[in-house]
Amino acid sequence: MSIKAVIFDLDDTLYPEIDYVKSGFGVVAARIEERFGVNGVADKMLELFGTDRADVYGRTLDAFGIGRNEAFISELAEAYRSHIPNIKLDGAAVGVLAELGARGYKLGILTDGRPFGQRAKIFALGLDKLVDGIIVTDELGGEEYRKPDPKAFEFMLDRLGVAAEEAVYVGDNPNKDFAVKKYLPIKTVRIANGGFYADCACRDGIMPDRTVKTINEIPAAVGEING
C-alpha cells in the first residue's frame, strides 16, 4: 500500500519544547519577582532546569533565599500548566506541512499530555489550521491512552480515513513514539534533533524505520518509505 497520511508528534517534533518551557518559566518568574521583589528569576530557573529538571520551583526559591512554601510551589506549577504559551511555528515546519499537504497526504497530530496545555500549544502554533486531525491522547480517557497504546493511533487512522499500512508517524522520543509498531503496521520516522528525550532507549528495542536530523528531511523520508 502507498502512504496516504503523515501523523506528527508535537513537542520537539514540530517545534522545540524548550520554547514552551521558557514561555512558562517567564510566567512563573513574574509571580516570584512580584511577590518577593527579586530579579533574574527566569534565567536562574533555566539554569537549574538545565542541570536537573526535578523540583525547579523549589530550588529556585532556595536559590533566592526565599524558602520553600508548598502551597506557593503548587500555585507556580498551576500557573505554568495553565499559561497561554508565547511560542511560534518556524518556517521550516510550516513549509514541510504545506509540502506534504500539496502532495496529497492527510496530516495529523497525535500528542500526549494534559489537554489544556497541549491544546494551548497547538493553537499558539496555529497548527489547528494546518492539519486534518488532532488527538490529545489524555482526552480519550486518561493517561492509559498515551503512546505507545494503539487506541489513539486507531482513532487517528479512522479520522483520517486510512489504514495503518498507509500512515507514517513522525516523532522524537525513542521511549514511546515508535513502539506502536508492536501493535500496528505503521511506518515511523524519528527526528533526532537533540530534544529532551534524545538519549532515551527505544522501548522494546523497536527502532524507527527512518531517522532524520531536521524536519526539512521529512518529505524525502516519507517519499523513500513510499517507494
- Average pLDDT value over all residues in the chain: 96
- 202-227: average pLDDT: 95
Cell of 167: 500512515
Among 27-31, 39-43, 72-76, 194-198, name the one with the lowest average pLDDT.
194-198
Which region holds residue 123: left if phi is over 0, alpha if psi is between -120 and 50, else beta? alpha
Q: Tell which phi-psi region holds residue 54, choosing left (phi > 0), alpha (psi between -120 and 50) or beta.
A: beta
From 90, 65, 41, select the one nearest 215 (Cα to Cα).
Answer: 90
Q: Report whether 160 contacts 167 (CB < 8 A).
A: yes
The pLDDT value recorded for residue 194 is 87
Assess whether pLDDT exceeds 80 at residue 227. no
Q: Over 80: is that where the pLDDT of 162 sits? A: yes
CA distance 158 to 152: 10
In this prediction, residue 51 carries a pLDDT of: 95
pLDDT in tens, 17-70: 999 999 999 999 999 999 999 999 999 999 999 999 999 999 999 999 998 999
pLDDT exceeds cutoff 80 at 6: yes
197: pLDDT strictly greater than 90:
no
Dihedral sign (CA 192, 117, 112, 126): negative
The residue type found at 104 is G
Predicted TM-score (pTM) of this structure: 0.95
pLDDT at 198 over 90: no
Distance CA 174, CA 202 (A): 4
3-state helix, strand, coil in the chain (%, to 5): 50, 15, 35
Taking each helix axis from N to C end, the angle separating 56-63 and 70-82, rounded to the nearest 10 degrees, works out to 120
Q: Work out the percent of the chain whose per-residue pLDDT is above 90.
A: 94
DSSP three-state, residue 8: strand
- Cα–Cα distance, 139 to 127 (Å, whole number): 18
Quote the cell numbers at residue 130: 494546518
CA separation for the pair 102, 105 (Å, rounded): 7
pLDDT at 151: 97
Span 119-153, pLDDT tens digits: 999 999 999 999 999 999 999 999 999 999 999 99
Residue 1 has pLDDT above 80, yes or no: no
Residue 199 is predicted with a pLDDT of: 87
- Band of the pLDDT at 209, cuts 50, 70, 90? very high
Q: How far is residue 210 CA from its own chain's centroid?
A: 19
